[in-house]
Amino acid sequence: MPVRKIIWIVLMLMSGYAGYQFTSSTPLPEGDPDNGGLILPDGFDAVVVADSTGRGRHLAVRNNGDVYIKLRTADKDGHGSVALRDIDNDGKADIIRYFGDYADSGNYGNAMRIHKGHLYFATAGEVYRTKINPWTLVPTAKTECLLVDNYRRARFSHIAKPIAFDGKGNMYVPFGSPSDACQIDDRQPGSPGQNPCPQLEEYGGVWKFSDSKLGQRQSDGKRYATGIRSIVGMDWNKKANALYVLQHGRDDLFRTWPQYYTPWQSALLPSEELLKVDEGSDAGWPYYYYDHMQGKKLLNPEYGGDGKIQGDGAKRNQPLIGFPGHFAPNDILFYTGNQFPERYKNGAFIAFHGSTIRAPYPQGGYFVAFVPFKDGKASGPWEVFADGFAGIDTIVFTSDAAYRPSGLAEGPDGSLYVTESEKGKVWRIMFKGDKKKFGDQELRNMIERKATAPNVSDPDSTVDNLSVKLLGEGEKLYTQYCANCHQLNGKGDGTRNPPLAGSDWVLGNKKRLIQLVIHGLNGPITVNGQGYNEVMPAHDYLNDKQLASILSYIRQSWGNNAGFISTHEIPSNRKLKDKIKLQ
């Protein structure tokens, strides 16, 4: 940083400077020459606000331009939030401060919103708030706990806690499902679903709470809506006066029901859903899923479906738009600013975090989309608004993506801020073109990307099948049963599922590895220095030869150089009474 700028920052801090105050006449800063790596419609540019703040999820921007980010996991000092301040209005953060005097549990820190003069944010199990100090960047008030989840009592998935406010004293929080489709044996091929699903008593929906009462439990809230598997992005649309959420669809249709679905269908289905959620509505999980290609809600195979049977799907809450499967929508923002062209006014920006389970096809998502709105409904097809986050077009492995967009926020001047979850890069997107002349010509590049970019467009079932080059018995089986979680390159997805490459769990005790794959694993483990707590399903339905082929393949791939596992080593490890301690 130049000496002159350092002196300026010191002087401003000594004088009690509280942050740059945006006004309608404040000039926009210069964008980066390469727009921070982003591909945008003509007339837009972007500046990188900060490059490596930590693995960011949702964010909020204060009316003086200060940026607050909820980190996925706490930093080395236990702080789970970070604050940024740009003093000289060049678009770059001059001050970065980490803070948080609360227990930051788990790997799913998520929400960050400004409401009633407070920062509201969430960990895996709690919703907190802290009062904003008008004179300081970092809040100085005590952190208060509004809501505590009981998720630690049992195995759990989908525990992110985004939040939304209706302006009437209510806070909305989802409780995601603890399974994929409420099967008797979770994620096991052919296992039927439970009907009625007992998980719907406490999970798979949205609850309404007070936005100011401390120490609430789930039982203090009121169920607002049901039948929604997993929500990471949600927002209250003030113009429509309604709650809108983004549902993450279920996983692994081909792995669990290969008699009904092809790998290509499994890569594109079920659709991710943009839902308008009214009180008392039921979106259908776990009994139904949405197929955007057929334009219908269909019966899940666990409950008698076959990819064609609709059942009572038409009676469930239908999505406004269905997006291709596994794009992972992690945030939604209804734009109310005046900086962007009129076509963006009151429309929805959506951050697609990107897929992890599309193998053997290229991973999809990793971009920011826009959905035009009118009268509370989508008024046109979804568009690609910002792309290039991944740094490459064909994303073979999730770990190949340089950045994965996760959070959205609108600045006081109408700029759009985007954060991502890999390193903590933050972009500020601005419009500097002619608003009156903005139209299809300025969108031509983004229209082409939607039709052709491998991370956005639908893959060809034959040409884009990446496993054609990776066959071999063990490799083929790994692709079908393991790659969705651990990735085709064995590096895991970096968040939910651990790497196999260079892992002692793979290279070490063979008996432990065999039994882990056969019987599954439930509980926290540490792999290559990082903690994981995702359920590893049992694979005891595979025969001895299949298991030996997969295990030998992973012990000989991605730089691993361990011995083969033979078929005769499998049977003795199928007996539960001989199961060794996996921790």
**SS3 of 78-108:** CCCEEEEECCCCCCCCCEEEEECCCCCCCCC
Stretch among 194-198, 241-245, 418-422, 527-531 having the lowest mean pLDDT: 527-531
Nearest CA to 246 among 170, 172, 322? 322
Stretch among 19-33, 331-345, 509-523 having the lowest mean pLDDT: 19-33
Tokens encoding 113: 């919103």
pLDDT in tens, 249-288: 999 899 899 999 999 999 999 999 999 999 999 999 999 9
Supply the mean pLDDT for the chain: 90
d(CA 426, CA 60): 12
- For β-strands 118-122 and 126-131, DSSP reports them as antiparallel
pLDDT tier at 15, thresholds 50, 70, 90: very low
Residue ranges per structural domain of the chain: 3-452, 466-578
Q: Average pLDDT for residues 505-529, to the nearest whole number?
A: 88
pLDDT tier at 531, thresholds 50, 70, 90: confident
Interior/surface letters 311-329, b for 16+ CB within 10 angstroms, e for the rest: bebeebbbbbbbbbbbbbb
Q: Average pLDDT for residues 81-94, to the nearest whole number?
A: 96
Confidence check: pLDDT of 292 > 50: yes
Instruction: Return the SS3 of 3.
Output: helix
Tokens encoding 83: 């604050």
Q: Average pLDDT for residues 373-396, to the nearest whole number?
A: 94
Instruction: Return the SS3 of 467.
Output: helix
Instruction: Let me know: does 43 contact 431? Beta carbons within 8 Å.
Output: yes
Q: Spell out the alpha helix ranges (H) of 369-509.
A: 440-452, 473-481, 483-486, 504-507
Instruction: Let me know: does 366 contact 352? Beta carbons within 8 Å.
Output: yes
d(CA 114, CA 136): 15
- For β-strands 144-148 and 216-217, DSSP reports them as parallel
Q: Average pLDDT for residues 442-456, to the nearest whole number?
A: 97
Nearest CA to 336 among 239, 433, 418? 239
Instruction: Return the SS3 of 439.
Output: coil
For residue 136, the model assigns a pLDDT of: 96
Higher pLDDT, 69 or 493: 69
Determine if residue 365 is left, alpha or beta; phi over 0 gives left, psi from -120 to 50 gives alpha, anything else beta: left
Tokens encoding 472: 């071999």
Nearest CA to 484 among 367, 356, 354? 356
My answer on whether omega of the bond before 258 falls inside 30° of 0, hence cis, is no
Instruction: Let me know: does 353 contact 330? Beta carbons within 8 Å.
Output: yes
Confidence check: pLDDT of 579 > 60: no
d(CA 141, CA 108): 24
My answer on whether omega of the bond before 360 falls inside 30° of 0, hence cis, is yes
Confidence check: pLDDT of 472 > 80: no
Per DSSP, the residues of 522-564 read -S-EEETTEEE---B---TTS-HHHHHHHHHHHHTSTT-----
Q: Average pLDDT for residues 76-103, to the nearest whole number?
A: 92
For residue 2, the model assigns a pLDDT of: 63
Nearest CA to 187 among 551, 541, 582, 527? 541
Helix axes 510-519, 544-555, angle to 10 degrees: 130
d(CA 37, CA 390): 9
Fold designation for 466-578: Cytochrome Bc1 Complex; Chain D, domain 2 (1.10.760)
Instruction: Let me know: does 80 contact 122? Beta carbons within 8 Å.
Output: no
Confidence check: pLDDT of 532 > 90: no
Confidence check: pLDDT of 416 > 70: yes
Tokens encoding 136: 């300081």
For residue 76, the model assigns a pLDDT of: 77
pLDDT in tens, 179-198: 999 999 999 999 999 999 99
Q: For residue 207, which amino acid is it?
A: W
Nearest CA to 82 among 412, 424, 428? 424
Higher pLDDT, 149 or 282: 282
d(CA 15, CA 87): 13
Higher pLDDT, 398 or 104: 398
Matching residue, tokens 């568009």: 383
Percent of the chain with pLDDT over 70: 92
Q: Average pLDDT for residues 381-394, to the nearest whole number?
A: 96
For residue 108, the model assigns a pLDDT of: 76
Percent of the chain with pLDDT over 90: 73
Query: In Å, how far are 145, 148, 212 from 216, measured between CA atoms?
Result: 8, 6, 10
For residue 25, the model assigns a pLDDT of: 64
For residue 16, the model assigns a pLDDT of: 42
Q: Spell out the alpha helix ranges (H) of 66-216.
A: none
Q: State which H helix or E strand residue 518 sits in.
A: helix 510-519
What is the tally of helices (H) and strands (E) in the chain?
A: 9, 31
Tokens encoding 46: 């972007």
Interior/surface letters 240-263, b for 16+ CB within 10 angstroms, e for the rest: eeebbbbbbbbbbbbbbbeeebeb
Nearest CA to 416 among 447, 443, 385? 385
Confidence check: pLDDT of 367 > 60: yes
Confidence check: pLDDT of 106 > 60: yes
Domain 3-452 falls under CATH 2.120.10.30: yes
d(CA 67, CA 119): 11
Q: State which H helix or E strand residue 512 sits in.
A: helix 510-519
Stretch among 20-34, 77-91, 414-428 having the lowest mean pLDDT: 20-34
Alpha-carbon torsion 290, 318, 231, 336, what sign? positive
d(CA 367, CA 426): 14
pLDDT in tens, 16-60: 445 555 555 679 999 999 999 999 999 999 999 999 999 999 999
Instruction: Let me know: does 207 contact 175? Beta carbons within 8 Å.
Output: yes
Stretch among 37-51, 84-98, 537-551 having the lowest mean pLDDT: 537-551
> Residue 20: which residues within 8 A CB-CB, separation 6 or more?
26, 64, 65, 85, 86, 87, 88, 89
pTM for this model (two decimals): 0.84
> Residue 373: which residues within 8 A CB-CB, separation 6 or more?
237, 240, 334, 346, 347, 348, 379
Nearest CA to 333 among 425, 448, 247, 411? 411
How long a stretch of residues is the chain? 583
Higher pLDDT, 45 or 580: 45
For residue 508, the model assigns a pLDDT of: 87
